[in-house]
């Protein structure tokens, strides 16, 4: 799997519909699910809600949360049966609920436990197991702790790390603040790559300029975008050309038609189109004509030609 460009796991955002729309814009971007706790897969009778995905989404990574090796191993087996390409352990979420459950970023204190979790997952999986970490938590001295943490978790045999390039503060900051206040430290991530050259390192945190960020691929193996893609999903039409040697950007007319087809197919299957429409509206937000497009998408009679006409009028269609 080519992890040059990844779209970060985001609760409340990266559901199957979002991922399908992203795939229409980029054939190659690596997509992630939202985090799902191992218990949700093991204790729920109706797991399809968590495991739901379509074949066109691949390559797609399932992100698991949890800290019990046996449970994570069982959850891994279920995910293996559902055509995902990789399973990623969340070692970066700093929310109070996650902290009180002893998983997510709290695990940055527990390298041996993380190694045990990843080893149990690896033993139960035919697809790669990876981890998404932070640089550290609270008042850890990351020059002292981080390399030791990584050395220990790599004993599980994993070969890829996604690194959110800041610390997490488990006391005093909420999740949103934890994505903004602790300073970004890309240099520290580059140093991980120097110290562990055989490990694939994917840089995450604050990336928002494809052309400029591309230079960072001299120091790391891939880039992971979160909020920027939510704010400007439309930019994904450029990914294959910039990052994957495709000759053309995705044609917007084709993109809109694929979205319409997906919406109709899902409505025919009996799904409410509302969730899909919400993601579609977001795809075109931020432009001067986005209100008009929103009205068209949310109306009962989705008029695709009208959307394309507006986009054409604004000279946005790619030749």
Ligand X SMILES: Cc1cc2nc3c(=O)[nH]c(=O)nc-3n(C[C@H](O)[C@H](O)[C@H](O)COP(=O)(O)O)c2cc1C
| Footprint on this chain of ligand X (rule: CB under 6 A) | 8-13, 34-35, 63, 90, 92-93, 132, 164, 179, 204-207, 225-228
CA 16, 291, 27, 160 torsion-angle sign: negative
Q: Quickly tell me which residue has 């997509």 as its tokens.
A: 31
Known catalytic residue: 93? Answer: yes
On the 0-12 / 13-18 / 19+ scale of CB atoms within 10 A, 64 is buried
Cα Rg of the chain (Å, integer) = 20
- The residue (of 183 and 309) whose beta carbon lies closer to ligand X is 183
Lookup: tokens for 142: 């990351």
- The residue (of 83 and 179) whose beta carbon lies closer to ligand X is 179
- The residue (of 53 and 252) whose beta carbon lies closer to ligand X is 53
- Asked if residues 64 and 87 have their Cβ atoms less than 8 Å apart, the reply is yes
Q: How far apart are CB 24 and ligand X at their closest, in Å?
A: 21
- The residue (of 115 and 132) whose beta carbon lies closer to ligand X is 132
What size, in residues, is the chain? 319
CA 256, 257, 260, 265 torsion-angle sign: negative
Q: How far apart are CB 161 and ligand X at their closest, in Å?
A: 12
Q: How far apart are CB 279 and ligand X at their closest, in Å?
A: 14
Q: How many angstroms separate the CA atoms of 154 and 112, rounded?
A: 10
Looking at beta carbons, which residue is closest to ligand X?
Answer: 226
- The residue (of 17 and 263) whose beta carbon lies closer to ligand X is 17
Reference 148, options 115, 119, 105; nearest CA is 115
Residue 275, CA distances (Å) to 18, 57, 129, 138, 263 in order: 9, 17, 30, 37, 10
Catalytic residue among 6, 22, 67, 93: 93
Q: How far apart are CB 254 and ligand X at their closest, in Å?
A: 27
Q: How many angstroms separate the CA atoms of 236 and 7, rounded?
A: 10
Establish whether the linkage from the previous residue to 59 is cis, with ω within 30° of 0: yes
Which residues are catalytically annotated?
Answer: 93
């Amino acid at each position: 799997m080519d992890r040059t460009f990844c779209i970060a796991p985001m609760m409340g955002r990266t559901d199957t519909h979002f991922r399908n729309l992203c795939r229409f814009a980029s054939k190659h971007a690596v997509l992630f699910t939202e985090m799902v706790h191992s218990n949700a897969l093991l204790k729920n009778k109706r797991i399809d809600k968590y495991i739901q995905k379509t074949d066109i989404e691949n390559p797609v990574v399932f992100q698991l949360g949890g800290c019990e090796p046996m449970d994570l191993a069982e959850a891994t087996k279920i995910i293996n049966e559902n055509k995902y390409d990789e399973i990623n352990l969340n070692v970066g979420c700093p929310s109070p609920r996650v902290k009180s459950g002893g998983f997510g970023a709290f695990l940055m204190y527990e390298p041996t436990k993380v190694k045990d979790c990843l080893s149990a997952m690896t033993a139960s999986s035919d697809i790669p197991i990876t981890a998404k970490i932070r640089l550290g938590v609270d008042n850890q001295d990351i020059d002292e702790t981080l390399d030791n943490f990584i050395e220990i978790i790599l004993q599980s045999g994993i070969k890829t790390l996604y690194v959110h390039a800041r610390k997490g503060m488990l006391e005093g900051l909420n999740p949103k603040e934890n994505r903004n206040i602790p300073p970004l430290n890309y240099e520290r991530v580059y140093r991980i790559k120097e110290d562990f050259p055989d490990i694939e390192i994917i840089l995450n945190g604050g990336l928002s300029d494809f052309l400029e960020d591309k230079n960072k691929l001299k120091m790391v193996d891939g880039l992971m975008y979160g909020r920027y893609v939510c704010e400007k999903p439309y930019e994904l039409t450029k990914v294959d050309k910039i990052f994957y040697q495709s000759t053309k950007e995705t044609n917007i007319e084709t993109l809109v038609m694929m979205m319409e087809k997906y919406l109709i197919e899902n409505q025919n299957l009996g799904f409410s189109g509302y969730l899909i429409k919400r993601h579609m509206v977001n795809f075109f937000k931020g432009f001067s004509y986005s209100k008009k497009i929103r009205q068209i998408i949310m109306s009962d009679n989705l008029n695709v030609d009208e959307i394309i006409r507006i986009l054409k009028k604004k000279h946005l269609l790619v030749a």
